[in-house]
Structure 1
């Protein structure tokens, strides 16, 4: 599966700072110090409702991680999946009377278009669940043969008790896990499971649903968590730098995925940091598929909203905060974009070397985009009021905003 084209990232003078970021597993900030190649895995969409503002906010956060690393003169090995077969996708296809593969292909294509418009840097590897199945099956067989998985009426479940580190990613107790499991695709009430929290690794073929050759597992399709584990291990290996996604993925998805990887490899940790973006709401409620209150990037683009303004609207909120999309949020972003563009359109301006360092420091401090935007706001206001004589300043500000924030002025 191919990703989307990459926008050029301008080179800035000097060198950026190492990223200090909040790690869900430890509950505090850690300083990431990758080697020459930083490794990141971000969980992708289930392609049936692309691209809503919650998606955009999440991928914006991890685009910023890449940009901070690139500014430290590192390379970035970024991997993202597409869950192009799963219950929600199949249910939507049935509801709409559409072939599930056509639905997945159309929504994935739309997602690529939106990511391109928003100047999100693409992953090096963009892998669909379906194409990963040949690599998933042997992992499930290994877990079963090692006693870390078991069969139940033809399905194969992972035993969470096989991983002594289970629970360390989310830090939740068993009762909270059980509630979230029921809400987020698990089946804690199914009779016969060794532990209500045990997640499915391989679903035996169901009538009327797609299935694939599972070798000794029999025909079926993979569970959600093992999909990402197989792709991450194949392309990044254990101990990669950041596992990322929305905050609703901390449990069960990232918790279960880490346990799968621990049991498969005997190594710990799966990722050095677990980083999660907040949720986006609308009209006082969490923006979600079930509520039908989604704001789509493509709809805004069709209304001739500049993608740079959409990105500024996302950047105006700290990535870990839960926030609400409103018409005013967008209007403020449109106005800010106009002010910035006017400020950099002058032939000369106020010196901007200090601004570059302010933006770098803000982003290195747990991706503090509100602080970064405020720094540019101050420069733009002073530039508008007084101006300056530094001929290189407007260009340097434009390159800084593009390279570090992904906004083209």
Structure 2
């Protein structure tokens, strides 16, 4: 049975969706004022992998992920570029879609944008005012955080500690406006020249936190199965979402909260973020790194664990992925001379691999143990290919299972039509091993198979050499 670590309860829980066979999942997306960095991509990859595994298990996943297309950063950057906020948003939404497509991230069922949801946001804020959870001051609307009895539960913080910290992060003018330092903005009065909309409280724009409450409940349900995002969103963003949503609907907001670990960089494993100015954009990385390798690198670390971004780790990912691809190509190569029919022993082994993969992945989407099963399958495939006689249906079964399991990690496998140098060297090594074991039938077969590919083997006193015709 699938278990998921729930940030709210701080334990793994058996996963039971509200509606049988259907999962409603909301993932916080980026603020689109710049290219996404590798930390943003980590969240997108992690929860795309979760989504793919849920689909592998047979669920229909309604996957909603927003774009924050209006906030202080958007306004500042648009002014710097001398364009409008919507123009800035369109520019970087397009860039986001290009980067995530390269990383083979499935498009969300829906990508809502706050600027397209202003009437719904205003109605939601008004509902909170009507219920006594919010109040208006000079065109700003604030949420009474202390009125929500479970405020701080998700992030494990105490109200009194929050009050002490809050007063240090807001202006004196804002402190004077608020009834309580920990209250947060639902609607912000517009400053001169800022993008704005008309509301019952004057010209203004939505606060950051209210956006996700409105869009998740509007496009999924008042209570959703999974809400996900980076660890840095636990407080205040997700804490505030809970307070807003449950106060407005009177229902539990989310059944399972999932948060991914950070991407770290450098010898001190410093968190990568735009605020620390140590980030690397995916846009730049993809000019140097194969998107498949970057995807594989991020998708094969369990979502709650941190990832250290380094060239060494990228190289390891590339080598591991190349080994899998080479095996897949070798399977396609042996298919040319495979006997018709199948092999019952292979069928049973493949069923065992699939069951083992499911068992380890059911433990909070443990992709590290999942990819270990894939490596075992690759080893088994290579051993099978050493047999003098192989069966076509058995090879196709191995290929299909490799494709299915790798697709959960967002990796596409397809047979290369042209044998490459790494494959040649691997086959020569197998031939040398066969000769050492006096398995001349296999040795001759590998030599003849390579010859069909235009590769001439030469046995010399210095070892085996090859040349291409």
Alignment TM-score > 0.5, same fold: yes
* 1:23 and 2:23 matched: no
- 1:101 and 1:60, CA in 2 relative to 1: closer, same or farther beyond 3 A? same
Given candidates 378, 381, 386, the residue that maps to 1:380 is 378
- Any conservation in 1 of the 2:299–2:410 contact (CA below 8 Å)? no
**Within 1, Cα distance between the matches of 2:396 and 2:121?**
53
The RMSD of aligned alpha carbons is: 2.2
Distance 1:186 1:36, change over 3 A: farther
The 8 Å contact of residues 401 and 408 in structure 1, kept in 2 or not, is answered as no
Q: Secondary structure at the match of 1:217?
A: coil
Matched, 1:407 2:391: no
Give the SS at the match of 2:156: coil
Question: Take 2:311 and 2:170, find their aligned partners in 1: how far apart are those partners?
Answer: 36
Q: Which residue of 2 aligns with 1:14?
A: none
Closer, same or farther in 2 for the Cα pair 1:145/1:187, shift >3 Å? farther
Instruction: Say yes or no: does 1:233 pair with 2:196.
Output: no
Q: Distance in 1 between matches of 2:70 and 2:197?
A: 11
Q: Secondary structure at the match of 2:24?
A: strand
User: Pick from 180, 195, 198: which aligns with 2:183?
Assistant: 198
**Does the 8 Å contact 1:243/1:273 carry over to 2?**
yes
Residue equivalent to 2:65: 80
Alignment partners' CA distance in 1, 2:284 and 2:382: 33
Instruction: Assess, with a 3 A threshold, how the Cα gap between structure 1 residues 64 and 179 changes in structure 2: closer, same or farther.
Output: farther
- Greater relative contact order (Cα < 8 A, sep 6+): 1
Give the TM-score normalised by the residue count of structure 2.
0.78
**Structure 1 residues 36, 221: closer, same or farther in 2, change over 3 A?**
same
Whether the 8 Å contact between 2:67 and 2:113 is mirrored in structure 1 is yes
What is the aligned partner in structure 1 of residue 125 from structure 2? 140
Mapped to 2, the partners of 1:309 and 1:180 lie a distance apart of 42
TM-aligned CA deviation for residue 161 of structure 1? 2.5
Answer with 1 or 2: which has the greater Rg: 2
CA distance in 1, matches of 2:52, 2:78: 37
Deviations 1:268-288, CA, capped at 9 Å, x for gaps: x20001110011121132111
Please state whether the residue corresponding to 1:335 is helix, strand or coil.
Answer: helix
Q: Is 1:243 aligned to 2:247, yes or no?
A: no
Select which of 353, 356, 361 maps to 1:363: 361
Deviation at 1:228, TM superposition (A): 0.5
Counterpart position of 2:75: 90
8 Å Cα contact 1:177-1:251 kept in structure 2: no
SS at match of 1:165: coil
Aligned mates of 1:254, 1:312 — CA distance in 2: 28
Q: What is the deviation of 1:385?
A: 4.8
- Structure holding more helix per residue: 2
Match of 2:49 in 1: 64
Most deviating of 374-383 and 60-69: 374-383
1:177 Cα offset (Å): 3.7
